[in-house]
Amino acid sequence: MSRSQAKSETLFAQAQQVIPGGVNSPVRAFKAVGGTPPFIARGLGAAIWDADGNEYIDCVGSWGPLILGHARAEVVSAACEAARRGTTFGAPTEVELLLARMIVDAVPSIESVRLVSSGTEAVMSAIRLARAYTDRSKVVKFEGGYHGHSDGLLARAGSGLATLSIPDCPGVPEAITAETIVLPYNNLTAVEDLLASRADEIACVLIEPVAGNMGVVPPAHGYLEGLRRATRNAGSLLVFDEVITGFRVSYGGAQGAYNVIPDLTILGKIIGGGFPVGAFGGRREIMDMLAPSGPVYQAGTLSGNPVACAAGLTTLQLLASEDPYVQLDRRAQFLADGLHQAASRVGVSITINRVASMLTMFFSDQPVVDYASAAASDTERHARFFHAMLDRGVYLPPSQFEAMFVSTAHTDSHAEHICETAKLALEEIAVR
């Protein structure tokens, strides 16, 4: 196809001179699919335009935050108005209180919440708190689960590490990863056995209640309930990393949808309305161990930044008033059905996992229930499909191990167009 990329190619070459790999976060470099990443110039609603003027339907949504689409007018206005009043004070502001209150009202497990600047930072701080509260040191995570890039959590992680096949990361001392125990996702017995024998070492079990960073993998029936029971019996904290699923799977997150209440919850992405925000919260008794109420230190110059909080607050207010979750679910199902039809028409085996408005089309004829089954997908075929879609104006996540996100800006006609395009793309890659 004749998509012009001259400007993006020039920018990418120049960026590689001054930024490692030319990007500020690894998956953006397209390593898993090859080629040059389009440099994005602007976005509006469901569309983005690159530096060469190509238009795409965006199914990435900045990896999750943009549930209302790009540049939603009310969110942009709120951020601009906040910026005009001053961009940061390093002192408390009312908008932080308003955002915190909305989070507390929405998320069942959260009575008290601390705002930070990224999901990584929120997870890191929640773990410190869990260790202090339990006076234990070990953290259980799951294979293919991604919780940001802090040292202890890079062990067998998803997202960019799965994409780039990075098993262990240089620069992380073994003494630190030794504090992390990695178990397979969706295997309750593995957790029960571990907690039965070593409960007194385990500070917390950290999980994406719906996995989103090995591609979308829903929790098996009874799995989250089982984790709740096992951690409670062991005196370990159950920590839900809802950085993707918070305000996505339902207004109350995955915990609201599955009705399983963790001890601590981590948020990010959507709550910043497209600005850098993370948060962690839980029962007041645990959260009050944080400084200045308690001895566990945690701080940030730009934490609770008023511009970011104004954008996040407006996003949550719109989600609360418009309640788009039924519509998002229906549209995502429509998309999944259409992709299934497109694939079966050309005889390509796929497995689609979908939870609410997050979905992954795996090039696999097997059910995908954990990291091992996700990793068995045909990533080479995914890469060809990705490019065939990109050339036709549909921007998908540039890795098999990531989620597509549907936003309120995606209409039925966008969904139809994506499915029509998928038919053409799948035909193209099937004949070769």
Query: Contacts from 217-224 at CB under 8 Å and sequence distance 24+?
Result: 217/144, 217/185, 217/186, 217/353, 217/368, 217/369, 217/370, 217/374, 218/353, 218/355, 219/186, 219/258, 220/186, 220/188, 220/369, 222/188, 223/186, 223/188, 224/254, 224/258, 224/260
Smallest gap from residue 430 Cβ to ligand PLP (A) = 32
Output the six-digit token pair for 376: 């068995």
**Residue 233 to residue 235: CA distance in whole angstroms:** 6
Q: Which residues, other chains included, contact 17 with Cβ-Cβ below 8 Å and sequence gap of 6+? A: none
Q: Residue 232: what are its φ and ψ, rounded to 5°?
A: -60, -45
CA–CA separation, 57 and 36 (whole Å): 18
**Binder among 114, 136, 138, 147 for ligand PLP (CB under 6 A):** 147
Rounded CA separation 196/174 (Å) = 25
Work out how close the CB of 119 gets to ligand PLP at its nearest, in angstroms, rounded to a whole number.
2
Of residues 54 and 399, the one with the C-beta less far from ligand PLP: 399
DSSP letter string over 135-198? T--EEEEETT----S-GGG-TT--THHHHTT--S-TTS-HHHHTTEEEE-TT-HHHHHHHHHHH
In the residue annotation, 133 being an active-site residue is answered as: no
| Cβ atoms of 432 and 352 closer than 8 Å | no
Q: Which is nearer to ligand PLP, 8 or 213 (CB)?
A: 213
Closest contact distance (angstroms) between CB of 424 and ligand PLP is 31
- The catalytically annotated residue of 56, 133, 146, 185 is 146
Rule CB under 6 A: say whether 338 interacts with ligand PLP. no
Does residue number 152 form part of the binding site for ligand PLP (CB under 6 A)?
Answer: no
Asked if 217 is part of the footprint of ligand PLP (rule: CB under 6 A), the reply reads: no
Question: Does position 207 bind ligand PLP by CB under 6 A?
Answer: no
Task: Write out the two tokens for 136.
Answer: 């234990």
- Smallest gap from Cβ 319 to ligand PLP, in A, equals 18
Cα 238 from Cα 142, distance rounded (Å) = 13
Residue 147 CB, shortest distance to ligand PLP, in Å, is 5
Q: How far is the CB of 246 from ligand PLP (least distance, A)?
A: 9
Answer yes or no: 269 catalytic: yes
Active site residue 151: no
Q: Which is nearer to ligand PLP, 54 or 120 (CB)?
A: 120
CA distance 335 to 73: 26
Catalytic residue, candidates 56, 251, 269, 370 = 269
Phi and psi torsions of 147, nearest 5° = -135, 35
Binding flag, residue 273, ligand PLP (CB under 6 A): no
Residue 281 in the binding site for ligand PLP (CB under 6 A): no
306 φ, ψ (degrees, to nearest 5): -65, -30
CA 382, CA 363: separation in Å to the nearest integer? 6
Give me the least distance between CB of 210 and ligand PLP, in Å please: 9
- Evaluate whether 65 touches 429 at the Cβ level (below 8 Å): no
**Does 213 sit near ligand PLP (CB under 6 A)?**
yes
Judged by CB under 6 A, does residue 118 bind ligand PLP? yes
Q: Which two tokens stand for residue 135?
A: 């006076």
CB of 244 to ligand PLP, least distance (A): 4
Among 37, 43, 212, 215, binds ligand PLP (CB under 6 A): 212
Q: Of 269 and 392, which CB lies nearer to ligand PLP in the complex structure?
A: 269
Which residues, 6+ apart, have CB-to-CB distance to 318 below 8 Å?
A: 68, 72, 74, 75
Q: Is 70 in the site for ligand PLP (CB under 6 A)?
A: no
120 forms part of the interface with ligand PLP (CB under 6 A): yes
In 3-state terms the chain splits into helix, strand, coil percentages (rounded to 5) of 45, 15, 40
268 in contact with ligand PLP (CB under 6 A): yes
Give the x-and-dash track for 226-255 against ligand PLP (CB under 6 A). Answer: ---------------x-xx-----------
Q: Considering the candidates 50, 58, 241, 370, report the single residue annotated as catalytic.
A: 241
CB count in 10 Å sphere of residue 336: 20
| Closer by beta carbon to ligand PLP, 123 or else 319 | 123
- Per CB under 6 A, 50 contacts ligand PLP: no
By CB under 6 A, how many residues form the interface with ligand PLP?
Answer: 15
Decide if residue 278 touches ligand PLP (CB under 6 A): yes
The reply to whether 274 sits near ligand PLP by the rule CB under 6 A is no
Residue 252: DSSP 8-state: T
Q: Minimum distance from CB of 51 to ligand PLP (Å)? A: 24
Nearer Cβ to ligand PLP (208/263):
208
What does the binding site for ligand PLP look like in residue numbers (CB under 6 A)? 118-120, 123, 146-148, 208, 212-213, 241, 243-244, 268, 278
Catalytic residues, which ones? Answer: 146, 241, 269
